[in-house]
Amino acid sequence: MKTMLVATAALAAAFSLPALGQSQPEIGTRARAILDVDGLQFRDANGNGNLDPYEDWRLPVADRVSDLLERMSIEERAGMLLIDTLNAGCAGTTEGTRAEEMIAEQHMTRFILRNTIAAKAQTCDGRPSRSGFDVTARQMAAFANAVQELAEAQPSGIPVLFKDNARNHRESDPRFGIGGGAGAMTAFPKELGIAAAVLGTESMAPVEALTQVTAAEWRALGLRGMYGYMADLATEPRWHRVHETFGEDSDTVADIMEALVLGLQGGPVDSESDVALTMKHFPGGGPQEQGLDPHYSFGQRQVYPSGAFAAHLAPFQRAIDAGLGAIMPYYGVPVDLTHEGETFDEVGFSFSAQTVNGLLRDRLGFQGYVNSDTGIIQSRAWGFADATVPERVALAINSGNDVLSGFSDVGEILDLVEAGLIDEARVTEAAGRLLTEQFALGLFENPYVDEDAAGDIVAAPDHLALAAQVHCESIVLLQNDNLLPLAQGAQIYVLNADAGMAAEAGFKVTQGTADDGRSSAADHDAAVIRVYVRNTGTGDYRSNDPEWGANPEHLNPRTGEVWGGEDNCNVTPDLNASCADDGQIGGPGSPALGLLFGGALPWEADALSFTTMAEAQSWDIFPPLPVIREVMNEVGAQRTIIAIDFRNPYVIDAESGLRDAGALLATFGAVDDALFDVLSGQFAPVGRLPFALPDNLGAVIENASDAPGYAAEDTLFPFAHGLSY
């Protein structure tokens, strides 16, 4: 391995400080020389042996950006507008990846890095998943450094910025492009759990713990940008991405967004920022009609029946005011939306200059860059489904997107510039906004990380301790009929939770199973059941299959037609070279796309009660509802403790029998040891609901998608409900 040359010095000061107020930053290089000028050190980014203005860290960022833009070719500037997935190869190498081609030929400097961090590296004798091989923290850091070395050797030596979706959360249903989970990184509760802890502690301490850990672990891996967090409001209970939000309340979410910007960026992005945020999904992805998601064509409509659009904007405004660096618009199409006297065009938000330039920049005062959501060019150009790839690229860039996610063809942009369909000045403007972030983060001085230190920083003991506290704080006690806390030494029956952790909490434990040979819960002091819900059985969904999307027995109630097209091979086959004649990805016999990004079958999106989910094809309750009822009958309902892990505001309907439990708890990705700390009384519950829980399924179906909560008579537990002892 090449040795990285490092000049020992203090961290760089913020770029806005005057030259005399700055101190020598750390300089890191592998492919270029270090220049010594006036007793100071600088990175010779272009290798010409001279200290050019863009290489001079003493100058304001704006001056450095301006100088570099004048030196860059149109190919380099156009390449800045691209970002796509670049995963580490097996063992963290660049072998077998597109790294060299993407950097040298496509002139790209931004990549989405999706590999899962594992305690043990994946062997190289198998095929990687869509998220690449599992790699160790050290291997991830080594890969980041190897890519930075390739970039440093390019004519202008522009460093790479790696991004990914939020990672540091316990994810029970990881999904490509949505959330891969923490792997071996420190895992906090889900975002809903962070909100529950914030509401319960009445402080931002849970967010501060999350940002402290995330900042250290991401920086150690070379991840300096995040596709996150989601500022969307969970006002539509059926939307399958509710679990990634911080709940339904606009004020609470706005407070959290501000805290995230301050915690990860430290305010406006500068050399002391750890992770630059790209908040999403502007102008709020929560109000999805029928709860369907715009990753699929049948879910592209966003509706505002109660006129609450301003509430969805508020979290973004708070983040912008705090110094947010980047924003991502959603795929969705606003339907009948009028705000402050202006009616919005019914096209995907990313293709709407009215939304990006008018609302975001002119009205809200956003000064950063706009990062499109992934796949708007090939897959999800709602409102422009019939447009060609060049037309979509031109529309997206001219509408205000500065970088196109999931797109890596610089030739398309160059051709459009040559044809006069994109002004070169627009390319330069976008490139300047993007370069500003790379300069401000200090990447031009040192883009490299310490590979040997990465493994010690990721999941460090102090990080795990911070997460453990938040796990406990995130648990919500919904109801308690004098059952909790359980007495030390109580004989408990545990189903779908770790019996060892229960024993450590001071209980005598019988481990139950959901199998046919399950032992009885009778004669125990209490039964503890952890309940998880997920969507399943949707992998074979095909748009034009009479058993699936073209099934006449399942009609969209809004249109009266079959649900139809949602996958790339049927929606835009001419744009997807990997689609074979039979419409399957990768050729005949390969797996179908299915509902890759999650969610129930569209005709089962309403099935949010436990009774209907138990009967549905695409919902899975574990343990199964009949098994839960059996245990309740054996031990007695009043001695049953049910902890439901909520990814949506599920309906705990009377028919399910779950309401009869002696104690009900809500968790949001909390670990078992935190649950048993609460059940034993070692930690008194403080969490509060980040969304209201409906009393009946009708309330869900009749809910106004843009408004939080339900009528009082339709509410089982209100927003911010939570008991203690």
What percentage of the chain has pLDDT greater than the value 90? 86
Q: Is the pLDDT of residue 145 over 90?
A: yes
Q: Report the chain's mean pLDDT, rounded to a whole number.
A: 93
Average pLDDT over residues 381-393: 93
Distance CA 112, CA 619 (A): 30
Tell me: the pLDDT tens digits for 61-76? Answer: 999 999 999 999 999 9
Q: Name the least confident of 431-445, 546-560, 576-590.
A: 576-590
Q: Is the pLDDT of residue 34 over 90?
A: yes
Q: Name the least confident of 34-38, 90-94, 589-593, 697-701.
A: 589-593
Distance CA 55, CA 53 (A): 5
Those residues whose C-beta lies under 8 Å from the C-beta of residue 456, and which sit 6 or more positions away, are none
Q: How confident is the model at residue 670 (pLDDT cuts 50, 70, 90)?
A: very high
- DSSP-assigned letters across all residues of 285-342: S--BGGG--TTSGGG-EEE-TT--HHHHHHHHHHHHHHT--EEEE-S-EEES-EETTE
Tell me: the pLDDT tens digits for 156-182? Answer: 999 999 999 999 999 998 888 888 889
Average pLDDT over residues 83-94: 95
- DSSP-assigned letters across all residues of 326-386: EEEE-S-EEES-EETTEEPPSS-GGG-HIIIIIIIIIIT---SEEBPPTTTTTT--TT-TT
Average pLDDT over residues 403-407: 97
Average pLDDT over residues 585-613: 79
Q: Is the pLDDT of residue 16 over 90?
A: no
Q: Which of 134, 249, 373, 606 is catalytic?
A: 373
Average pLDDT over residues 20-29: 85
Q: Is the pLDDT of residue 12 over 70?
A: no
Higher pLDDT, 543 or 485: 485
Q: How confident is the model at residue 590 (pLDDT cuts 50, 70, 90)?
A: very low
Distance CA 223, CA 276 (A): 9
Higher pLDDT, 632 or 18: 632
Q: Name the least confident of 42-51, 326-335, 546-555, 637-646.
A: 546-555
Thinking of the domain 468-536+607-717, which architecture would CATH place it in?
A: 3-Layer(aba) Sandwich (3.40)
- DSSP-assigned letters across all residues of 688-713: --SS-EESSHHHHHH--TTS-S--GG
What was the pLDDT predicted at 3? 32
Residue type, 521: A
Determine how many CB atoms are found less than 10 A away from the CB of residue 561: 11
What percentage of the chain has pLDDT greater than the value 70? 93
Q: Model pTM?
A: 0.94
Higher pLDDT, 342 or 126: 342
Instruction: Kindly state the DSSP code that residue 54 receives in the 8-state scheme.
Output: G
Q: How confident is the model at residue 567 (pLDDT cuts 50, 70, 90)?
A: low
Determine how many CB atoms are found less than 10 A away from the CB of residue 206: 29
What was the pLDDT predicted at 439? 99
Q: Is the pLDDT of residue 41 over 80?
A: yes
Burial of 392 (0-12, 13-18, 19+ CB in 10 A): buried
- DSSP-assigned letters across all residues of 109-121: -EEE--PPB-SSP
Residue type, 40: L
Q: Name the least confident of 6-15, 171-180, 213-222, 467-476.
A: 6-15
Average pLDDT over residues 685-703: 98
What was the pLDDT predicted at 4? 33
Residue type, 660: D
In terms of Cα–Cα distance, which of 202, 176, 188 is closest to 115? 176
Q: What's the helix, strand, coil split of the chain in %, to 5?
A: 35, 15, 50
Q: Name the least confident of 105-119, 470-484, 530-544.
A: 530-544
Q: How confident is the model at residue 13 (pLDDT cuts 50, 70, 90)?
A: very low
- Tell me the C-alpha to C-alpha distance, in Å, between residue 22 and each of 9, 10, 25, 60: 11, 10, 9, 11
Q: Is the pLDDT of residue 657 over 80?
A: yes
**Token match 């990881």: residue?**
174
Is 373 one of the annotated active-site residues of the chain? yes
What was the pLDDT predicted at 573? 60
Q: Name the least confident of 223-227, 289-293, 468-472, 560-564.
A: 560-564
Distance CA 148, CA 327 (A): 25
Q: What are phi and psi of 641, to 5 degrees?
A: -110, 120
What was the pLDDT predicted at 123? 85
What was the pLDDT predicted at 566? 58
Q: How confident is the model at residue 1 (pLDDT cuts 50, 70, 90)?
A: very low
- Domain map (residue ranges) of the chain: 5-68, 468-536+607-717, 543-594
Tell me: the pLDDT tens digits for 229-265? Answer: 999 999 999 999 999 999 999 999 999 999 999 999 9
Q: Is the pLDDT of residue 48 over 60?
A: yes
Those residues whose C-beta lies under 8 Å from the C-beta of residue 638, and which sit 6 or more positions away, are 481, 483, 660, 661, 662
Q: Angle of helix 309-322 relative to helix 250-264, nearest 10 degrees? A: 20
What was the pLDDT predicted at 126? 77
